[in-house]
Structures are given as C-alpha cells and as structure tokens.
Amino acid sequence: MAYADQDGMSSSRLVSIIIVALLHAFLGSALVTGLAYEAVQQVKAKLNVVDVKEEEPPEEEPPPEPEKQIEPPVVSPPPLVTTVTPPPTVRTVDTPPPAAPIVPTAAPPAPAAPPPPPPVAKRPNPIPKGNPGNWANTNDYPSRALQQEREGTTGFRVTVGPDGRVQSCSVTASSGHADLDDATCKNIQRRGRFDPALDSNGNPTSGSWSSRVRWQIPK
C-alpha cells in the first residue's frame, strides 16, 4: 500500500512537474513574445522620433592658387634708323637721232591767177524820163475807191528793157486795197519811160527800178 501510494504520488508529482514545466514554457513563451513585441514597439518609437541626419561630405579644400609668373618687362627695340643712300648719278649722253634722209620735193605749183573782176556797168539801173509823179495821178483814182474815200500807198518794182519801156511790174508793198495796187502798175506800165541801163561796154541792157505811189483823195 505504501508502495502503491508511493507510485501514485510519483505519478502525480510527475504530472505536476510536467504541468509546471508546460506552464513555465507557456509563460516563458508569452514573456518572450511580449518582450519581443515591446522591444519592437520601442525600436519603432525610436525610429519615429529620431531623425537620421545624413553626414555632410567634408568640404574640399580649394586647390592652391598657381604661382603667378612674373613676366619680364617688355623692352621696346630702339627705333630703326634707315639711311637712304642716293643712287649713283648716271650721266647720260644725248645721242642725236639720225638725220632723216632728204627727199627731194617738187616745188608747189604757182597759185592760179585770180579771176578778172566782173565788168562794171556804166549805168546799172535805168533812169526815169520826166517826172514819175505824173505817171499815176488823181485823175487815175479808181472810181469805187474814190466814192468810198479809200486811200493808201503802193510800193512797186518795174523791169525796164533795153528800149527803155516797162516790161513788167510787181507790187512790193500793198496799200491794203487791191484796186489801188492794180491802178498803180497799170499806169506805170502805160506811161513809164526810162533811159535803159548800160553794161560795161556801154550797150543798153535790162534793169530794174523801184518806187511807190501815194493814193490820196484831192480836197
């Protein structure tokens, strides 16, 4: 009985030990899980709070300035002096050109003798015989011009033949009235008589004579 009780007690004790071991394991596991969670939260809190600053790269030191090279002073060269040497004087001797060959030329012909002067007429123009004023007078006044009391002066030129008679008559200046001009030449040709013109030999020849007639109504 005592052995049986001992065995029963050993079994119960063993069960108790197992249960206690399981409880410890459970509690340990819970404790570990809780601690781990808490640790994670703490780490998370630290991560949320702490700002991680990036480390700035160290400033690079500027490179040392190169040493300035001192340039030697510029020395201008002395001015170049040029001397002009005059060219040597060359004396030239003017050589006369060769004389042109003498070509005999014929003497120019003698100028032609001037033509003889034209013969001078002894009387170049005819001369009226008598008084030319009587060749056309108031008795010859055209009746119509007289009725209309028209007046004027007619200039004329006549050609006189070798016989001293008027061969033709032309009006050189009109009186402004045809009937007065016609009466002038008509009466001069009818009544005019001349000493004819004479040539250089004294022979009668044709010539011309000019004058005018003034037609005026008698008062």
Residue 69 CA neighbour count, 13 Å, CB half: 2
Tell me the C-alpha distance between 157 and 172, whole Å: 7
Rounded to a whole number of angstroms, the CA Rg of the chain reads 84
User: In sequence order, which residues have a C-beta less than 8 Å from that of residue 125 and are 6 or more positions away?
Assistant: 197, 207, 208, 209
Tell me the C-alpha distance between 85 and 177, whole Å: 103
What is the largest distance, in Å, between two alpha-carbon atoms of the chain? 234
- Tell me the three state secondary structure of residue 171: strand
Phi, psi of 72 (to 5 degrees): -70, 145
**pLDDT, position 52:** 46
Per-residue pLDDT 10s for the chain (219 aa) are 444 444 555 667 777 788 877 877 776 665 656 555 565 466 455 544 445 455 666 666 666 666 666 666 666 666 655 565 666 665 665 666 777 677 667 667 778 878 877 777 778 999 999 999 999 988 999 999 999 999 999 999 999 999 999 999 999 999 999 999 999 999 999 999 999 999 989 999 999 999 999 999 887
**pLDDT, position 47:** 46
Evaluate whether 187 touches 140 at the Cβ level (below 8 Å): yes
Tell me the C-alpha distance between 64 and 52, whole Å: 35
